[in-house]
Amino acid sequence: MARILLIRHAENAFTEAGRLAGWKPGVYLNKVGKKQASQLAEQLSGAHIKEVYSSPLARALQTAKPIAETRKLRVRRCAGLGEVRYGDWEGKSVQSLRQRKLWRVIKHRPSAVTFPNGESIRDVQVRAVAAIEELVARHSNDCIAVVSHGDVIKMIITFYLGIALDLYQRINISTASISELEFFCDEVHVLRVNQTLAFPPGT
């Protein structure tokens, strides 16, 4: 039986400001995010995690590091778990993007969307699920931690719930949250979605 702990990276300046970071370099955890990452490692201290995998982006790697360090593991990078390539939309605020015609399509029929000079939402789901399937095959009897990004985790969960991709935005995935999948023989169970800690004000 394989267990996959899907963890969204912790807070950073882009999530705090409501902007799309995408694959922009140099997006690091802020003060709150570093605290969240530390608390995540504590929260997962009792889990028998055998390996820690992460998106290759800095904010995900920073979130994964404390989880790996408590077990004397190294963080393994997995490009298939990387953020959506938003193309021309990277760095822009969600508020400003809501004024674009494409925004309505993203909200109502995202499976038809390709970001300008970026990825299609359908292609993101395909490569993310392929990455999870590869990890499950590699760790068929292990519990592993997988640190990724909000939209990517939504698409993974949507796939394993058997829900149409067009409905993936109905799932909420907060920063520093944990979702969990269990794979046993030919069955997949979604055990939890978007479990978060209550972080005190000012942390």
How far is the CA of 144 from the CAs of 30, 37, 49, 202, in angstroms? 25, 17, 5, 31
Whether 6 is covered by a domain: the verdict is yes
Whether 89 is covered by a domain: the verdict is yes
Whether 193 is covered by a domain: the verdict is no
Give the pLDDT of residue 11: 98
Cα-Cα-Cα-Cα dihedral sign, residues 142, 55, 191, 49: positive
pLDDT confidence band for 198 (50 / 70 / 90)? low
CA-wise closest residue to 65 among 112, 10, 123 = 10
Number of structural domains the chain divides into: 1
Mean local confidence (pLDDT), 2-8: 98
Whether pTM > 0.85 for this model: the answer is yes
SS3 for 171? coil
pLDDT confidence band for 100 (50 / 70 / 90)? very high
Is the pLDDT at 186 greater than 90? The verdict is no
**Domain range for residue 139?**
2-185
CATH number, residue 28: 3.40.50.1240
Whether 201 is covered by a domain: the verdict is no
CA-wise closest residue to 175 among 4, 44, 14 = 14
Report the share of the chain in percent with pLDDT over 70: 97
What average pLDDT does the chain have? 95
Secondary structure of 40-95 in HEC code, one letter for each residue: HHHHCCCCCEEEEEECCCHHHHHHHHHHHHCCCCCEEECHHHCCCCCHHHCCCEHH
Give the pLDDT of residue 185: 87
Q: Which two tokens stand for residue 48?
A: 């028998």
Whether 72 is covered by a domain: the verdict is yes
Give the pLDDT of residue 200: 43
Give the pLDDT of residue 197: 75
pLDDT confidence band for 202 (50 / 70 / 90)? very low
37 Cβ contact list (under 8 Å, min separation 6): 10, 29, 62, 63, 65, 66, 176
Residues 23-57 pLDDT 10s: 999 999 999 999 999 999 999 999 999 999 999 99
Whether 203 is covered by a domain: the verdict is no
The residues pairing with 192 across neighbouring beta strands, listed in sequence order, are 180
Whether 198 is covered by a domain: the verdict is no
Whether 163 is covered by a domain: the verdict is yes
Is the pLDDT at 105 greater than 60? The verdict is yes
- Contact, 16 vs 30, CB < 8 A? yes
Kindly report the backbone phi and psi dihedral angles of residue 190, in degrees, each rounded to the nearest multiple of 5, phi listed first: -95, 110
- Contact, 156 vs 6, CB < 8 A? yes
DSSP class per residue in 20-38: --TT-TT--B-HHHHHHHH
Residues 133-155 pLDDT 10s: 999 999 999 999 999 999 999 99
The residues pairing with 143 across neighbouring beta strands, listed in sequence order, are 3, 49
